[in-house]
Amino acid sequence: MFEPDVLMDAQIERPFAYDDHAVRLYHLGIGAKATDLHWVWEERLRVLPTFAVVPGFVPIEDCVQLPGFGIDLAALVHERQAIWVHGSLPTRAAGVARMRVRAIEDRRVGASVTFANTLTTDDGRTLATTEMTTFINGVGGCGNHGDVQKARPARMRGDADLRVEVPTSPDMAALYRLNGDTNPLHIDPDLAHRAGFERPILHGLASLGLVTRTVVDGLLDGDPAPVSGVQCRFANPVLPGQTVTVEAQHADDNQILMRALVDGQTVLKEAVLTLV
């Protein structure tokens, strides 16, 4: 049973540790190639800010076990993601991830639940904060709880400064699952059919990583250091094997607006890279 008052008190704390192996595996899972040495070779390795979703990741199967969050996985959709990093992510770190429910927004036909996860190293440094917003169909009328934020990022208008066609592998979702996001929606054909998809879909986080990597390579010369934040809304699913059109546009000195399309249909929107 979905009980917002109970869910708002829910927290999960768990240790994390990663090294360059985990970073390289993540980059491969979002489509990096053997020739992208700054993403796949430990001698030149840089860490994409979206990697922050991996350490301390809480699988959705664990989330639905939280008190007050008794739902059917088929009713849940990953709606939004935000990532904020505090300086460049290191190639190895260890510490504690602390996840809490930050907000529940009543959407009448359903509700959006935002989980905030903060990564803190053993020496007390905050590496990153990630926020995952999920939409749960059929639980509307629950009222707003916590810090509900209504502001939405700007959308691209006019001509793009970058436009790249990025093919995805048919095996991309299976590979990305090795990062810890084991939601069966991305591997189980039966669950995918129950959720209304013709076959298992690509993780939204994999799509976001692919788009961010493409924009960092195309507009920032492959250097993720200037990026302090990434956020987006998942508009439609990507099926592994489809080609993603990535577009980006400089908005001002500290923002790059992004979007992604498949066959002319928007799959990622309200996407922003925030620069330091």
* DSSP codes, 194-228: HTT-SSPPPPHHHHHHHHHHHHHHHHSTT--TTEE
Radius of gyration of the chain (CA): 18
Among 124, 126, 2, 166, CA closest to 69: 2
**What's the DSSP call for residue 119?**
E
CB 54 within 8 A of CB 234: no
Of the candidates 126, 142, 156, 133, the residue with the CA atom closest to the CA atom of residue 60: 133
Q: Could you give the angle at which helices 204-219 and 20-29 cross, rounded to 10 degrees?
A: 100
For residue 258, the cross-strand partners are 248, 271
Q: Which amino acid is at 109?
A: V
User: Going by DSSP bridges, is the β-strand pair 255-262/265-275 parallel, antiparallel, or unpaired?
Assistant: antiparallel
CB 78 within 8 Å of CB 132: yes
CA distance 234 to 154: 15
Any idea which residues carry the catalytic annotation?
181, 186
Q: How far apart are CA 183 and CA 167, in angstroms?
A: 23
